[in-house]
């Protein structure tokens, strides 16, 4: 059931396997593409060409993406060979003495990693406008707009054709928001599907997880298969999948009962373009034989977001603890988050974690009425650059105040909190040519059902031929 895509990583790997291209040639092409479009997008940083050349020269692992150029997010994915700014001036040029388990597993697929992609400071925004990169990261579909966050550099790099697949991470929509904004496929797996070690046992009380942005469902499936499974000493693990991601997309899913929500989960109106995208997706799914019914999950969504805001603030404070006098160089939202965290007691933090767990049970109960929940990924088209600037000094209002992040992105964080798998699928573009992602979510552990449905959507309504104005790949 997989759909061929001449621009994806699977196709490039096939070229290399056949002898029609070499890893060195593809790396040359990728570096040329960075040079061509990165000045307009500001998506790729910390190039390590020598490391990439050495990995080719020393012999690449014989994995499914052997020789394919690849980029890792400039947040997490610690590696001895790849220093990181972590989106922050005080953390510039951080060097690691170890390789993270997720990086080791990505490397084992045979990819040729040659740099990192931009991320907001602390990963706490829906845009990527970190001061350490000397400017915002922009959207290839419209450079006046954001490519999203926190994996905004990854989204821009893949959408513009620099690489076909890139690493990201998602603690409140940070893979799915860039996927929606940049016209890509992004999948957030069930909590603890991928390893967090050795530096951490979990991120943001289990709400954060690694992931990937891709031009095809099959690329994402292959990379997730390679990375899935706990590492030694993990505090907990996701339920085992009965079949792999790749096996799941090789066959159509059973006919599903799909709940459709064309408002926010609290009943507020969303942008007409997003509402139209939801309606069109519902018609597509009905045409494929699925049953579509109105739905709005009954849960304490506002309470969840308040708890999420507290947990992330505490995470920001923990990350900044060792900076001492360098905290003055943090951006406004980060400084504000640290101040906000100072008023959160240990008991308050544990209550917030408890509220998140309670929310997960509420969402599990809601899914008793349907197999999949369909909504927009964002409540609006991609925001203009500057709207969610990181220089603001009002963290709580930035997140949950009127017109804040939660109003803009009211769907994604719900599934970080519940731990359920969720994906953004690029099924719609508005009259301005801006991508509008469709969000699909499944019960906890039902990754295979979800990705099979995503692959069915891709086959029924392919998006591979759509290219943004800023594009440097094949015509």
Q: Name the nearest CA neighbour of 426 among 386, 370, 466.
A: 466
> Residue 254: exposed, middle, or buried by beta-carbon count in 10 A (0-12, 13-18, 19+)?
exposed
* CB proximity list for 186: less than 8 A, separation 6 or greater: 155, 168, 170, 175, 176, 178, 179, 180, 211, 212, 213, 214, 220, 423, 424, 437
Phi and psi angles of residue 125, each rounded to the nearest 5 degrees, phi first: -120, 160
Q: Which of 11, 55, 73, 335 is catalytic?
A: 73
Q: Please state, in angstroms and rounded to a whole number, the distance separating the CA atoms of residues 228 and 190.
A: 10
Q: Please state, in angstroms and rounded to a whole number, the distance separating the CA atoms of residues 345 and 351.
A: 10
In the DSSP assignment, the letter for residue 161 is T
Q: Please state, in angstroms and rounded to a whole number, the distance separating the CA atoms of residues 24 and 467.
A: 25
Helix (H, G, I), strand (E, B) or coil at 372: strand
On whether the CB atoms of residues 129 and 390 are closer than 8 A, the answer is yes
Q: Please state, in angstroms and rounded to a whole number, the distance separating the CA atoms of residues 72 and 341.
A: 29
Helix (H, G, I), strand (E, B) or coil at 331: coil
Q: Please state, in angstroms and rounded to a whole number, the distance separating the CA atoms of residues 278 and 281.
A: 5
Is 73 a residue of the active site?
A: yes
Q: Please state, in angstroms and rounded to a whole number, the distance separating the CA atoms of residues 375 and 363.
A: 15
Q: Please state, in angstroms and rounded to a whole number, the distance separating the CA atoms of residues 362 and 344.
A: 25
Is 298 a residue of the active site?
A: no
- How crowded is residue 76: how many other Cβ atoms within 10 Å of its Cβ? 22
Q: Please state, in angstroms and rounded to a whole number, the distance separating the CA atoms of residues 170 and 435.
A: 20
Q: Name the nearest CA neighbour of 163 among 26, 55, 62, 56.
A: 26
Q: Where are the beta strands (DSSP E) in 74-172?
A: 112-117, 138-139, 142-146, 165-170
| Greatest extent of the chain over all pairs of C-alpha atoms, in Å | 61
Is 150 a residue of the active site?
A: yes
Q: Please state, in angstroms and rounded to a whole number, the distance separating the CA atoms of residues 34 and 30.
A: 6
Q: Please state, in angstroms and rounded to a whole number, the distance separating the CA atoms of residues 416 and 439.
A: 13
In the DSSP assignment, the letter for residue 369 is G
Q: Which of 11, 84, 88, 150 is catalytic?
A: 150
Q: Which of 169, 174, 180, 424 is catalytic?
A: 174
DSSP string of 62-78? Answer: -STTTT-EEEEESSS--
Catalytic residues: 73, 150, 174
């Amino acid at each position: 059931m997989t759909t061929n895509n001449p621009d994806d990583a699977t196709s490039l790997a096939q070229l290399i396997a056949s002898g029609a291209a070499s890893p060195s040639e593809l790396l040359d092409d990728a570096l040329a593409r960075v040079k061509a479009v990165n000045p307009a997008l500001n998506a790729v940083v910390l190039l390590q060409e020598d490391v990439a050349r050495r990995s080719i020269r020393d012999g690449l692992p014989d994995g499914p993406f052997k020789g394919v150029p690849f980029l890792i997010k400039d947040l997490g994915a610690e590696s001895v060979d790849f220093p990181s700014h972590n989106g922050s001036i005080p953390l510039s040029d951080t060097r690691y003495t170890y390789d993270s388990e997720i990086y080791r597993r990505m490397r084992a697929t045979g990819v040729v990693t040659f740099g990192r992609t931009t991320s907001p400071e602390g990963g706490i925004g829906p845009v990527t406008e970190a001061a350490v990169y000397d400017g915002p990261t922009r959207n290839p579909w419209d450079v006046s707009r954001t490519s999203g966050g926190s994996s905004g550099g990854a989204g821009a790099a893949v959408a513009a054709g620099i690489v076909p697949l890139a690493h990201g991470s998602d603690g409140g929509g940070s893979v799915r928001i860039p996927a929606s904004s940049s016209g890509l496929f992004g999948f957030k797996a069930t909590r603890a599907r991928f390893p967090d070690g050795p530096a951490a046992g979990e991120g943001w009380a289990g709400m954060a997880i690694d992931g990937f942005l891709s031009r095809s469902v099959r690329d994402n499936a292959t990379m997730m298969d390679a990375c899935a499974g706990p590492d030694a000493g993990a505090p907990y693990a996701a339920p085992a999948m009965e079949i792999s991601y790749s096996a799941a997309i090789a066959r159509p899913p059973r006919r599903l009962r799909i709940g459709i929500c064309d408002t926010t989960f609290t009943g507020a109106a969303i942008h007409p373009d997003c509402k139209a995208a939801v309606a069109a997706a519902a018609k597509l799914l009905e045409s494929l034989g699925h049953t579509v019914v109105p739905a709005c999950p009954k849960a304490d969504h506002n309470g969840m977001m308040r708890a999420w805001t507290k947990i992330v603030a505490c995470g920001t404070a923990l990350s900044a603890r060792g900076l001492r006098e360098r905290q003055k160089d943090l951006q406004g939202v980060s400084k504000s988050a640290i101040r906000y965290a100072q008023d959160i007691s240990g008991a308050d933090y544990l209550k917030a974690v408890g509220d998140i767990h309670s929310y997960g049970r509420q969402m599990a109960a809601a899914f008793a009425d349907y197999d999949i929940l369909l909504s927009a990924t964002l409540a609006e088209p991609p925001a203009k650059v500057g709207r969610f600037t990181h220089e603001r000094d009002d963290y709580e209002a930035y997140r949950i105040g009127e017109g804040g992040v939660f109003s803009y992105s009211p769907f994604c964080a719900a599934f970080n909190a519940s731990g359920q798998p969720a994906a953004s699928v690029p099924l719609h573009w508005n009259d301005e040519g801006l991508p509008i992602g469709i969000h699909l979510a499944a019960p906890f552990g039902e990754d295979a059902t979800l990705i099979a449905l995503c692959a069915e959507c891709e086959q029924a309504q392919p998006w591979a031929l759509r290219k943004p104005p800023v594009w440097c790949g094949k015509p």
